[in-house]
Chains A and B, each alone.
Chain A
Amino acid sequence: MISKKIYILLLAFCIPIYIKAQQTPAPKQTKSVLILNATAHLGNGTVIENSAIGFKDGKITLVADSKTIRLAANAYDTTIDATGKHVYPGFIAPNSTLGLVEIDAVQSSDDQEEIGNFNPNVRSIIAYNADSKVIETVRPNGILIAQVTPRGGRISGTSSIVQLDAWSWQDALIKENDGIHLNFPSNFKRTGSWFEPGPIEANKDYAKQIEEINAFLINSKAYLGAPPKERNLIFESTKGLFDGTQTLFIHANEEKQIIDAIQIARDNEIKKVVIVGGYEAYKTADLLQKNNIGVLLKRVHDMPQSDDQDVNLPYKMAKILTDKGIVVGLENSGEMERMSTRNLPFLAGTCAAFGLDKEQALQLITSNTAKLLSIDELCGTLETGKDATLFISEGDALDMRTNKLTNAFVQGRMINLETHQTKLNKKYKEKYNQK
């Protein structure tokens, strides 16, 4: 009886979507929505079969087992029967350059890296192109939130967190200036030219480069203690690191780097630190755990860095770190990072293939990342009071075969899952139908 009604409602709901122009951001949620009978993966490790997930005015108002809960027939304006389907919190892509570059090889479309070495004052958000064609292609795979992060230099700049259905960067903001990104110096340095690379040798300037970071942080802190009349925009922009409103994201992969980085952060009384990359974080797990520092683990669809290592080591790292009690999120920087953002769920899936429980694997791209980005009050799980940024998939969203989204919501707004690519798909299907 319910199902018929839902079917009609569903139709009513769907039709306007398809006649909309592509990638037009959805309007503010005015009608409440109830998703019924889906398997809900809350993102905190819990699964509710036959769930009832409701949201109003952009916020989740109900997360329950549909068998045990009783709702008034008109409690929600719209009901979606998602029997046999799965509901997930929107996936979060941290350390991302979405919206900063459109086409890799077209230099004029590239806005990800400012010149100079210490650029905490440089803010990624103002270059974020909410209309990027790449962004619309990641949403149909469940990625609804991203941390837009600049690249390059010792301190690349300041990142901000956005939701991926917006008219402009201002509209997109979930959290402005959430963190500052430090590329920790490496213990190694490449030699030779790009054409004839030499061996990788010890970086003789390592200590000096660390001292530069230290000096920078000490000076920033001193400046902030009693700002002189003449303003220093660079020092000023680090304020959040010392008062705990911003996170220092330290990009480091080597064991020694991580140890030195933690030391420097502690010496300078930086409140919140996250390691980004963390290839050898598993070797420093105890230290990380003791200091309550989480890791945004580098793209796990990667090669082992040494020929001697277990060929599947990158796939196993999330499991190793999780078992040690570290909060782990997955990030996807590297070659073709923007367009392959849409494969983020499959990175998590691979971690599950190599040891993690599937719900733990899901946390790697939802609640854990939200914690590490300090947006866990707003998103990362399906819990009441949080943003209704979530989606319905026909099946297991961590598996390619079944990651097929039927609906996605950003802050309660049902977004358009069409893309430039689906449009071309339709166009050429049409071509072959014409014959």
Chain B
Amino acid sequence: MKKALLLLFLSTFLTKTYAQEYFPNNESIHSKNNNYTVFTNTTIYITPTQKIEKGTLLIQDGKVVGAGNNIAIPKNSITINLEGKTIYPSFIDIYTTFGEEKPKAYSGGRNPLYDTKRAGYYWNESIRSEINAYESFKYDQPKAEELLKAGFGVVGTHIPDGIARGTGVLIALNNNNNSTRILSSKATNHFAFTRSITTNQAYPSSLMGMMALLRQMYLDLDWYKKGNSTTKDLSLEALASNEKLTQIFTTEDKLNSLRAAKIAKEFGLNYVLKGSGNEFERIEEIKKTNAPFIIPINFPEAYDVSNPYLSNQLELSDLRFWNQAPTNLKVLSDNGIIFALTTDKLKKTEDFRTNLIKAIKYGFDKTKALEALTTIPAAILGKSNEIGSLKNGSYANFVITSGEIFDEKTVLYENWVQGSKYVVNDINAKDIRGNYDLTVDATTYKWKIDGTSTAQKSEITTADAKKITSTFSVTNNWVSLLIRSKDSTKADYTRLTGLIENTQKLSGKAILPNGNEVQWTATKTAPFVTVKDSAKTEKLNPIMPVTFPNRAFGNSKKLMAQTILFKNATVWTNEKEGILEETDVLIKNGKIAAIGKNLSDASATIIDAKGKHLTSGIIDEHSHIAISNGVNESGHNSSAEVTIEDVVNPEDINIYRDLAGGVTISQLLHGSANPIGGRSAIVKWKWGQPAEEMLYKNQPKFIKFALGENVKQSNWGITNPTRYPQTRMGVEQVFTDYFQRAKEYDATWKKYNSGSKKEKAPRVDLELQTIAEIINKERFITCHSYIESEILMLMNVADKFNFRVNTFTHILEGYKVADKMKEHGVGASTFSDWWAYKFEVNDAIPFNGPIMHNEGIVVAYNSDDAEMSRRLNQEAAKAVKYGNISEEDAWKFVTLNPAKLLHIDDKVGSLKIGKDADVVLWSTNPLSIYAKAEKTIIEGVVYYDISKETEQELAIAKERSELIGQLLQEKNKGASTQEPKKKEKKEYHCDTLEQ
């Protein structure tokens, strides 16, 4: 009793005393509290790995002044005996939006803004590095209490808007004192792959645009810091002055983490990556980033799969993610990745503890968990001496618990922040659980109190075991009970109250329905026993193995190159040997080792290919599959600075589908939304491998250009266009202008580089640099084109700048100017038979490819379409149908010719000894409608094998039903569930604008 009062007094006292020292005080007189508070007889975790039994913690003025076993207790100490209790450092969440309002979204209509109207800042409005979260910070008491209840003492907070988001502030959750709360006004500097919602500026409209923008921003920063700019740029100045802060990059996805790490590597930066919880799916690459992470634990809720018609929409990857997500922390930790935990993305802060305990059940180490909440975030912020531990000098931020902190039964009593106490559960609450005989006014009842120690429940029955309606509560050690009259026809109540002093015998005052006051007593007849229900020990769901990628048809392990000998195949060499009947082909060490009759190799797997056809892999010169978040950077009329190489998505199922159609290589092109698009990625479809491994080694540099209706926005439904150009006339001007500027840019740099470099360095411009590469013949153009006039125009412009257009893609009127194309030396990558989808393809004819071919142009057939890509063999056959092209030549339309256009025919595109073993085994003549790709092999690795079809389907069905079984059980157990949802699939085409 005394102690409770003392504590009550203490906390009120403490609230009064704090005020900034030099502030005038007109409300009272000077009163500084230099008393110590000491916690004795307690288990103390000074750090997650430094544990003291029966120790003492001494704090003064909000800081730790001593912690250990032999601490001298000063005379002016207030002692709190915490026998049986445990003290831990309070948690830190460095990634919140605590006390920050979401910025207002732009609401000025749908018309995009192309060039910013703000002055004095960076040219792109998603670069908001000048924003400081502390300026708009408002302490949010209710949210603070949620966090305190969850054990947090310090949070970092920021404004989550834009690509460069400005600085974050570090806040102590000290409910009592607003003068000491701000631990650091600028603790972190934030970045993300998200446009600002405050602007309608069109650029960047894609992920690759964001990456390019970040690069340009860092280059501009360097240039600006060197004093090269003649104008002020507050965004760059802010970036410069915040460089030393902890740089946090929000990626929200494993692949984006790799992308951010790539930028960090290029610019020598150290990002802390805020991930999403799917890191375990690509842990090897995540590990290689060497970056520290901030990881959320918003595990997906179980799906409600009771309706099979809805649940069949769920894909194996969704089901698996639900099953595997709780293992993420264990996997990260097992791989030695340093990470802090965050409450971000949780529906409710209280779920944090539940989910963390779940992760621990799935193997996450408890000490690591504690580190991820204390020492690691402190170290990430460079504040290990102030927060995250209870070392001397640290803030007195700690929690008092009933025991081991991550045990489900453990009660969190108090969370002290800067020496200021926040009560979560009353530490002095008496546990009155047990069975009692209650006597009131000569009536005896049976009274059973159970539940948990922090939430006790009661039940009243009559002596003859009839249940009686009653209401029960315990607060501040006062018990109160409302008993309804035994006569259920009457609404009469007896009200009982009593202060708990003796837990063996409770007593107090009762007010009877007639208003009379009497004494009541309750004598304990049996102590409370925890029901040990061994049946209830939670059975963990078996975790499904991760595959690469982690979805249906993923590989369970890394596939290896094989030595394979194909016997007696019909071999389409694409070389002067032509089509060879009954011929053997040996592939070894990823290369074509031998072609001939009666070959043998002891180490080879023999495949009887009699009656089958063996060809080199199909090359799709124009594809948009496997691209993350946007195929078009449509925010500018030129986006030469962006590259598809940044955004290859190695997990797209369309890769596997392409392999099933015999495709081994694709050029992933930027779309055609602007005259100068972005750089391409040439990829080999090594399914299961990371994106970096898919990129064709030493690939020739390409860029997509575009002409016609798409670039002049003819079919965008815009009423008031503001983006230049709007006509084919303007398109020519855009090209001429950019080439001229690039030429001048190049000259300026060449002059600077060859000089003394004493004068101011020119600005690096990634866009002009790329365009200059074209003029310098270091980069090839693939140009989306349709009609005669524009085809001639681009060749004309190229001639003026003394370079050659490499490829016209689509080129549906190429047949009209084949002679001019031949003269210019440009190749053609076209469709077999597409037309009539827009006005500019009205004169497209299926004889186009054959005419150009007959005029001596290198002709390829491409897909520009995820579906058609897997049937390019059929498309090639249409050259036979419409143009009477020989089968041998027609086949080259989808193999050797695209290899030539891509300048990779030295390694791929034909079956020749020494070339890459990129081969496809077909059931019959590959140009036949009846042909099926049976095996698709890249560099000797079998990535698709039709004979595995049944086995794979059975495995997928089995895993699905197993996971659905787990989910049904989860629902039965009463877990909250979510309705099945399906992700909208977006297959990109040239003119796809959305992300």
Contact = CB atoms under 8 A, between A and B. Distances in A.
Q: Which of B553, B819, B845, B979 has the most CB of A within 10 A?
A: B845
Contacts of B315: 306-308
A310 to B, nearest CB: 6
B837 interface: yes
B660 interface: yes
A187 B839 contact: no
A201 B979 contact: yes
A302 B981 CA distance: 22
Contacts of A346: 874, 929
B123 interface: no
Given A194-B994, A401-B877, A421-B847, A199 B833 contact: no
Interface stretch (B216-224, B284-292, B518-526, B982-990): B982-990
Interface residues of B, number: 69
A198 B846 CA distance: 38
B866 interface: yes
Interface stretch (A21-29, A101-109, A289-297): A101-109
B672 to A, nearest CB: 14
A207 B979 CA distance: 17
B259 interface: no
A256 B819 CA distance: 57
A275 interface: no
B980 A301 contact: no
Given A400-B877, A403-B881, A200 B837 contact: no
Interface in B303-330: 309-310, 312-313, 315-317
A104 B931 CA distance: 32
Interface string B168-195: 0000000000000000000000000000
A350 B833 contact: no
A103 B836 contact: yes
Interface stretch (A39-47, A157-165, A334-342, A369-377): A334-342
Contact of A311 (B312, B657, B868, B982): B657
Contacts of A343: 833
B843 interface: yes
A114 interface: no
A192 to B, nearest CB: 7
Given A400-B880, A432-B818, A202 B836 contact: no
A269 interface: no
Given A197-B994, A199-B981, A303 B867 contact: yes
A254 B309 CA distance: 9
A308 to B, nearest CB: 4
B660 A354 contact: no
Contact of A103 (B313, B838, B931): B838
A303 B819 contact: no
A302 B309 CA distance: 22
Interface string A317-345: 00000000000000000001011101100
A340 B846 CA distance: 12
Contact of A104 (B818, B836, B979): B836
A424 B928 CA distance: 27
A192 B984 contact: yes
Query: Secondary structure of the B side of the interface?
Result: loop
Contacts of B846: 421
B364 to A, nearest CB: 29
B930 A352 contact: yes
Contacts of B833: 339-340, 342-343
B929 A103 contact: no
A435 interface: yes
Contact of B983 (A200, A311, A339, A428): A200
B839 A307 contact: no
Contacts of A431: 816, 819
B956 interface: yes
A196 interface: yes
Contacts of B987: 303
Given A199-B984, A339-B836, A428-B815, A312 B653 contact: no
Contacts of B815: 424-425, 428
Interface string A103-142: 1111000000000000000000000000001100100000
Contact of B932 (A339, A354, A424): A354
B838 A398 contact: no
Nearest to A421: B845
Nearest to B815: A428
Interface residues of A, number: 61
B703 to A, nearest CB: 26
Interface in B844-896: 845-847, 851, 854-855, 866-868, 870-871, 874, 877-878, 880-881, 887
Interface in B809-840: 815-816, 818-819, 833-839
Contact of B837 (A105, A198, A312, A398): A105
Contacts of A196: 994-995
B880 A401 contact: yes
A200 B949 contact: no
B733 interface: no
A188 B656 CA distance: 27
A432 B817 CA distance: 10
B979 A307 contact: no
Contacts of A301: 867-868, 871
Contact of B317 (A197, A307, A310): A307
Nearest to A349: B929
A198 to B, nearest CB: 7
Interface string A248-291: 00000011100000000000000000000000000000000000
A399 interface: yes
Contacts of B654: 303
Contacts of B660: 311-312
B986 A428 contact: no
Contacts of B656: 311
Contacts of A352: 929-930
A70 interface: no
A200 B929 contact: no
A404 interface: yes
B715 A105 contact: yes
Nearest to A312: B660
Contacts of B709: 105
Interface string B959-995: 0100000000000000000011111101100000111
A306 to B, nearest CB: 6
Contacts of B571: none
A373 to B, nearest CB: 25
B714 interface: yes
Interface in A182-229: 187-188, 190, 192, 194-202
Contacts of B819: 431-432, 435
A404 B885 CA distance: 13
Interface in B776-835: 815-816, 818-819, 833-835
B995 A425 contact: no
Nearest to A303: B867
A105 B991 CA distance: 12
A86 B851 CA distance: 28
B842 interface: yes
A401 B887 contact: yes
A411 B835 CA distance: 29
A290 to B, nearest CB: 20
Contacts of B731: none
B33 to A, nearest CB: 55
The list of the 10 closest CB pairs from A to B, nearest first, reads A349-B929, A105-B838, A199-B981, A197-B984, A400-B877, A425-B847, A200-B982, A421-B845, A308-B552, A399-B929
Given A104-B838, A311-B660, A338-B836, 15 more contacts: A190-B984, A194-B994, A196-B994, A303-B657, A303-B866, A303-B987, A307-B553, A339-B833, A353-B932, A399-B877, A400-B927, A400-B929, A401-B927, A422-B847, A429-B851
22 contacts: A102-B836, A103-B838, A103-B839, A187-B310, A197-B986, A202-B979, A256-B309, A303-B987, A306-B313, A307-B317, A308-B316, A311-B553, A311-B656, A311-B870, A312-B660, A350-B929, A353-B932, A400-B874, A401-B928, A402-B881, A421-B845, A421-B847
